Structures are given as C-alpha cells and as structure tokens.
Structure 1
Amino acid sequence: MRHTEWLRRHGATAARILGVAAFYYGGAQLGLLQELVRGQVTPLWPPTGIALTALLLFGPRIWPGIALGAFLVNVSLGPSLSVVLAIVVGNTLGPLLSYRLLRRAGFRVELDRLRDAVALVFLGALTGMLVSAIIGSGVLVLSGALPTGNFWPTWAVWWTGDAMGVLVITPVLLLLAAARRPRWTGVRPLRLLEAALLAACTCAVTLLAVSSPMNLLYLVSPCLIWAAFRFQRAGAAPCALLVSTIAIVAAAGEWGPFAGHDLLTNMATLQAFNGITALTALLLSAVVTERRNTHEEIRRVCAQLAEALSRLDPGAAAEQWPPPRKQKPDGGG
C-alpha cells in the first residue's frame, strides 16, 4: 500500500517535471523565432513565464523540469558544454529567485490585488531575471563567444526578454490554470460580441501603430484600458500578449517606427513599449478587480448585518438595509 502511494505521488511529480520541460522547450522554440543576438537572445523569452508559472502552481520541487528544458534548448546553441551548463544554472536560478521573492511578498496567483501585480512586475520580472541575464551574458563573454564590448547590449536584451516573458506570459498562464469550462448558456450574446470586438480592435490598432512610420504606439492604450475595465485580467492579459507579439514581429522585421535604427535603439523602443503595455494591463486590471471584490465584500457584510438585525427584531426584516439617506429639507428664505 505504501509502495503504491509512493509510486503515485512521485510518478505524478515526475510527470509534471517532464511536462514542464516539454512546455519550456516548446516555448523556447517559439521565442527563438525572433532571436536578435547570437541565435539565442530574444526580446521575449516565453520559458521564463512558463518556469515561474510552474513554480507558483506546483512548488519548487518542479525545478528539475526547468533545468532539463533549459539544457535541451541550449545544448545545440552553446559553444561548449561548460557554457551550456552555466546558462542552464542561470535559467534555473532566475525563476527560483523570482518564486522565493514572490512568496515572501505574499503573492497570490489570482492576481486580484494591486500588490500582487506590483510584486510580479518588480520582484518576479525585474529583480529575479537579473540572475539569468548576468550569468548568461557573462559566461558568453568569458568563453569568447561574444566580444567584451557586446556584454551590455546582450545583457540588456537578455534581461528585458526574460522580464517580458514573466510580465506577458505568466499572467496568461495563471489565467488559463484557473479557468473553468465556460457555461455558454449563462453568457450574454452582447458580452461575447464585445469580447470579439475588443480582440479585433486591439489587433487592428496595433497593426496600424507598428506599420506607420510615425510613432503611433500610444494608440494601443485605449484598447488595454477597455480590456481591463470590462473584462479585468481575463481581457487584459490576452490583449497584452497580443500587442507585445505584434510589436516584436514588427521590430524584428524593422517595420514602421522600428525602421532605420540600430539594434539597441529598436530594443529600447520595443521593450519600453512592451513594458508599458504589460504594466498598464496588469496594474489596471488588478485595481479594477480589487475594487470589485471590495464592493462585493461590503455588500456581503451588509447582508449579514441585515440578517442579524432581523433576528433581533423580526419587525425590521422588511426594512431596507442599509437604510436610505434622509433628504435634507430645503432651507427657507
């Protein structure tokens, strides 16, 4: 009996580890389609978001899956096995550090509080991903795979790419992990129509912004505000992912505002835009969700008070609670 329980428990853990490694590898292949430096540094690295999500959902025991996925990705890209192993260590330590920082900050995977969104941005993305960027860029320079003068551009692309993976991918994966099977009978047709219209408008406006030679990237902001206010995280996170993906493709192809500039300038423009997009979507949706939850809590407390009052005074059960405000009499002249 104990042997069966041991196999069941550890078998489930092993399956999760292999699943994380597979998703990590698949996300890396998607990210490498838009590589900018030495075939392995990209402006958006989805595996960091996948790794942090796995740690938040399954705990730190899942770390071998992250290491295995990172090894499979880098073994064909690194100049030597020692360099690959160092990069794997950095790619594993970065998400683990982010996970520890978020847990110490009391992070909740529901992302329904402003403090959760702020923690994900500054602890999960910007701070935790420093480790992988420093180790990865440093070992490439020390091994001679990169010139010393390219350390800072490579570090900047690596760090911002890893951070964008957390900011853009993690909220979407946490949303999918918490999603339930939709009950279409309870969804109003106008709600579905609004969601489809939001997706179409976001895509069209973003394509217009990145295709124009003028700097029209700010036109995307109303779509993100619309998504956050009307659909909260369920709308804001996918819209931010859609916008960032289109912007990355435009930067790689040097379209519109990204045409005629060097790598560092395009990276600064792209990552500033992607960062503002993710910040707007995350923070605004968290504020709206927190406000809605507070309002529901106040209504629940009022209902409990009304029920308690009705038990003390049965005649007051029919009275409205909370009582309506009394109108002030008009002052005489």
Structure 2
Amino acid sequence: MRPLSPAARWCLIVLGVTVCYFAAGRIGIQWAIVREQISPLWPAAGVALAVPMLLGPRFWPGIFLGALLTNVALGPSLGMVLVISAGNTIGSLLAYAVMRGLGGRNRLDRLPDAVLLVVVGAIGGTAVSAALGTGVLVLDGALGPGDFWTTALVWWTGDAMGVLTITPLLLLAPRFRLPKQVSLIRWGEAAALALFAIGTAILASTTTSKLFLVFPVLVWAALRFRQAGALLCSLCVCTFTIVAAVRELGPYGSSELAARMLHVQAFDATVGLTALVLSTIVLQRDRATAEIADAWRQITEMVDLISARQSLRSAMTQRDDETQAACSSRKRSR
C-alpha cells in the first residue's frame, strides 16, 4: 500500500478536525441559552485550541470549517456565520501563538504551562472570539445593543469552560497509557472516586452551601490519579454546574442571566484551576522524586565502582608487597 502524499495527509487531518469540532459543537448546542446558539459550556473551543497545540497551526482550516458547519444552520446570515467562524479560529490561533511565545509546552508537566493555559487560553483567546462574535450579531440586528454584554459573557463563559475542561484532556490523551496489572483495590478506588465525584457534583448543584464539597474529591483525584483523574472530575463537576445553571436549578434559579453566568464562571473556573494546578504540582513532585532517585542510583553505582577499583588496587599493591618481600627473603637466604 502506497503511503499518503503530504497533501492527502493534510486534507485527511483537516477533515478529521472538522468532524471533531462539529461533533463537539453539536454537544455544546444542547445547552444553548442565547439564540439556541450560545452555550455556557462550549467543548468545541477546547478542541479548537488543542488542534494547533497538538497538530500545528497549519491545520486551522479544520477549525474554520467545523465552526462554519456548526453555525451555518443557526444563522443569522452566511456572512455573519463566516465572521463568527473566523473569530473562533483567530481566537484559538492567537492564544496558541501567545503561549508558544511565552514558552508554553503541550505536556502540562510544569506549573507555568498550566497557568498559561488558564490565563491565555481559557481567558484571553476566548475573550477575542466572544467579543467579535457578539459584536457581529449586534451589528447584524440579531441581538439588541443592550444584550451585548450579557451575550458576550455567556459566550466567553462557554468558550473558557470548554478550554479549561476539554483542552487539558486532549493534550493528555496522546501520552495516556493504561497501567498494566492493576489491582482490584485500585479499580475499587477508581470506582469510588467516580461515584463521589458524581454525587458531590449533584449536591453542589442544589444549594450554595454545598459547593465546597467538590474540592476534597478534586484533591483525592489529583493525589491518587494525577492529571487524568483530576481533569475528569473537573469536567464532571463543571458539566453538572452548567446543566443546573441552564435549567435554573439550585443556587442559579433566582438570578438574572448575567449574574448566573458570573456565578457559574467563578465556580467552574475555580474548580478547573484547582484540578489542573494541583495535579500539575503533584506531577512535578513525582518527576522531582524520580530524578532524585535516579541521581542517587547513579551516585551509588559510582561509589560502588570506585570502591571496587580501590579494593582491586589495594589487592594488587598488597600482592606486589608480598612478592617483593618474598624476593628479599630469597636473596638473604642465599
């Protein structure tokens, strides 16, 4: 079978990116609360930022086409949809360029990488696409001028939550490997963590006084299951919070839309930041411990090697001394 040409490979990857963005966009639309188009949780934004970080910026047409297919049926017009799709693409590429310029890496194994993803990716880049998209809707007449800030806040919240919850998982996916020979106790602990995460997420969505219950579970997930466990728990909590906010349940039922989105944004950002930063710190600790253990092993090997050489040298010196003593004894006996 002949290998694919570079052009064919590029087209195939762009098609895959388009399909992934469109699928994530369709999931986000299920929670739309403004024009059945703007959702407080937009997983497609996480896909859009992960694409240049994992594959490179040259596959940006996949982001644009995915956004175009997602929004073309929602309107308001083809020209406005083109501008909105361009804004989604520009926001993710701009965030990627800034993070790379500041030394950010994809592995998220350093605390500065996690901070850059939150500040630049989840807050900065999404603000660009939210402001541009909302401004276009106002200019086209699909929204009134008085709805700009509320709509932009919902848009920004959704994109930021998508980046904060989906992008780290996608960055982690290429390096994830199922552990071998997992004990039943470990599987039981994972099942218990999943039940506690779902249970506390549901309780946190009922009343404000129960919001803090999710943080011990995040600490448990980060310490025992590292980034994969903490990020999945964060996604679970943020999803239940968004559903409660969309359906006006629990602590979000009596608030106006803007206040509701600020409440959700603050809580979900705290949850996502806690999970990402804490799991990254634990990963750094594990790496430092492994480096110290490796350095200690190398030092021990060097000490053993030096000791062996010294012992060999002492043995050879002792043998030479014995030989010289024997020769001297023979000379005196003669």
Do the two structures share a fold, i.e. TM-score over 0.5?
yes
CA distance in 1: counterparts of 2:41 and 2:287, whole angstroms: 32
Give the partner amino acid of 1:178: R
Which residue number corresponds to residue 327 of structure 2? none
CA distance in 2: counterparts of 1:260 and 1:141, whole angstroms: 27
CA distance in 2: counterparts of 1:189 and 1:109, whole angstroms: 33
* Per-residue Cα deviation, 1:23-51 (whole angstroms, up to 9, x for no partner): 10010010011111111111111111011
What is the aligned-residue identity percentage? 46
Instruction: Answer with 1 or 2: which has the greater Rg.
Output: 2
Structure 1 residue aligned with 2:213, among 214, 219, 222? 219
Q: Secondary structure at the match of 1:313?
A: helix
1:92-131 mapped onto 2 (5 Å cutoff): 92-131=89-128
Structure 2 residue aligned with 1:305, among 299, 302, 305? 299
Count of matched residue pairs: 310
Structure 2 residue aligned with 1:196, among 178, 191, 196? 191
Deviation at 1:215, TM superposition (A): 3.1
Deviation at 1:183, TM superposition (A): 4.7
Structure 1 residue aligned with 2:9, among 9, 12, 33? 12
Query: Does the aligned pair in 2 maintain the 1:309–1:316 contact within 8 Å?
Result: no
* Per-residue Cα deviation, 1:80-99 (whole angstroms, up to 9, x for no partner): 12111110110100110111
Q: Does 1:54 align with 2:48?
A: no
* Per-residue Cα deviation, 1:118-144 (whole angstroms, up to 9, x for no partner): 010011111111210111011111111
Which residue number corresponds to residue 245 of structure 2? 251
1:105-254 mapped onto 2 (5 Å cutoff): 105-180=102-177, 182-184=178-180, 186-212=181-207, 214-254=208-248
TM-score (ref. length: structure 2): 0.89
RMSD over aligned Cα atoms = 1.6
* Per-residue Cα deviation, 1:61-109 (whole angstroms, up to 9, x for no partner): 1100000001111111121121111101101001101111221222222
Q: Secondary structure at the match of 2:37?
A: coil
Runs of 4+ in 1 over 3 A off after TM superposition: none
CA distance in 1: counterparts of 2:292 and 2:253, whole angstroms: 52
Query: Does the aligned pair in 2 maintain the 1:203–1:242 contact within 8 Å?
Result: yes
Which residue number corresponds to residue 27 of structure 1? 24
Give the partner amino acid of 2:30: L
CA distance in 2: counterparts of 1:156 and 1:49, whole angstroms: 17
Deviation at 1:311, TM superposition (A): 2.0
Q: Does 1:83 align with 2:80?
A: yes
Q: Secondary structure at the match of 1:78?
A: coil
User: Structure 1 pair 251/285, CA: closer, same or farther in 2 (3 Å)?
Assistant: same
Which residue number corresponds to residue 331 of structure 1? none
Which residue number corresponds to residue 316 of structure 2? none
Unaligned 5+ runs, structure 1? 318-333
Query: Does the aligned pair in 2 maintain the 1:310–1:316 contact within 8 Å?
Result: no
CA distance in 1: counterparts of 2:196 and 2:269, whole angstroms: 20
User: Structure 1 pair 225/80, CA: closer, same or farther in 2 (3 Å)?
Assistant: same
